[in-house]
């Protein structure tokens, strides 16, 4: 499966869009990709189809796993730290609901109207503003800030670790979840064909 199935960071001048009427604190599964600034291979390297994390990569992994300790109402599914980006599936849990499968419903905030195209726009670069503290954007923002601080401590720098935006994709069904999970876990095996591949 090509990474372009979910996003294409190689497309130049892509407009940064956030669905203004979509509530990213809604319960459901979200596939996120966060890229290192300038696509630097900051987190390690791939050797024989396996990701080998360096110290900065271990920080990125540990801080992602700590997200569930810091924030209530989220669960982490498959994720991978790659040399210059990371992929992960984040579940926002609605503790008031019961059931085996929760899908983030594309509803307009403050009304019962359904946003007809929210689930079909693919991956959208997100530039969060005035975030709901329980939203996906708040969780990603906290993660990026924590990794930046700790990585800068070890490299004695003050520059940003990450690109300004991130990519997200709302997972709509179990089939999509399975495909994306497989894409994440096999990402190191396809590193040289990845859209974000860098030496």
Q: Which domains does the chain have, with CATH numbers?
A: 3-193 (3.30.70.1290)
On the question of pLDDT at 2 being above 80, the answer is no
Map tokens 């209530």 to a residue. Answer: 72
Confidence at residue 27, expressed as pLDDT on a 0 to 100 scale: 82
On the question of pLDDT at 10 being above 90, the answer is no
Task: Give the model's confidence band at 198: pLDDT under 50 very low, under 70 low, under 90 confident, else very high.
Answer: confident
- The structure's pTM equals 0.74
Report d(CA 22, CA 162) in Å as an integer: 24
The model's pLDDT over 63-114, given as tens digits with 9 standing for 90+, comes to 999 998 888 889 999 999 999 999 999 999 865 544 444 444 432 222 222 2
How high is the mean pLDDT of the chain? 76
Task: Give the model's confidence band at 54: pLDDT under 50 very low, under 70 low, under 90 confident, else very high.
Answer: very high
On the question of pLDDT at 178 being above 80, the answer is yes
Report d(CA 83, CA 196) in Å as an integer: 9
How would you label 59-74 residue by residue, b for 16+ Cβ within 10 Å and e otherwise? Answer: bbbebbeebeeebeeb
Confidence at residue 55, expressed as pLDDT on a 0 to 100 scale: 97
Report d(CA 27, CA 162) in Å as an integer: 26
The model's pLDDT over 137-174, given as tens digits with 9 standing for 90+, comes to 899 999 999 999 999 999 988 888 999 889 988 898 99
Confidence at residue 139, expressed as pLDDT on a 0 to 100 scale: 92
């Amino acid at each position: 499966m090509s990474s372009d199935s979910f996003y294409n960071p190689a497309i130049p001048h892509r407009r940064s869009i956030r669905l203004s009427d979509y509530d990213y604190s809604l319960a459901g599964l979200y596939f996120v990709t966060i890229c290192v600034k300038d696509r630097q291979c900051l987190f390690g390297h791939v050797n024989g189809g396996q990701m080998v994390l360096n110290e900065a990569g271990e920080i990125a992994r540990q801080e992602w796993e700590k997200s569930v300790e810091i924030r209530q109402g989220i669960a982490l599914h498959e994720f991978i730290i790659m040399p210059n980006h990371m992929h992960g599936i984040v579940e926002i849990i609605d503790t008031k609901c019961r059931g085996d499968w929760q899908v983030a419903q594309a509803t307009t905030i403050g009304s019962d109207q359904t946003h007809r195209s929210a689930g079909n726009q693919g991956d959208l670069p997100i530039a969060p503003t005035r975030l709901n503290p329980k939203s996906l954007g708040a969780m990603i923002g906290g993660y990026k800030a924590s990794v930046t601080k700790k990585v800068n401590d070890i490299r004695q720098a003050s520059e940003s670790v990450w690109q300004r935006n991130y990519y997200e994709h709302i997972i709509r069904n179990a089939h999509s979840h399975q495909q994306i999970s497989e894409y994440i876990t096999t990402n190191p095996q396809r590193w040289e064909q990845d859209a974000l591949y860098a030496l």
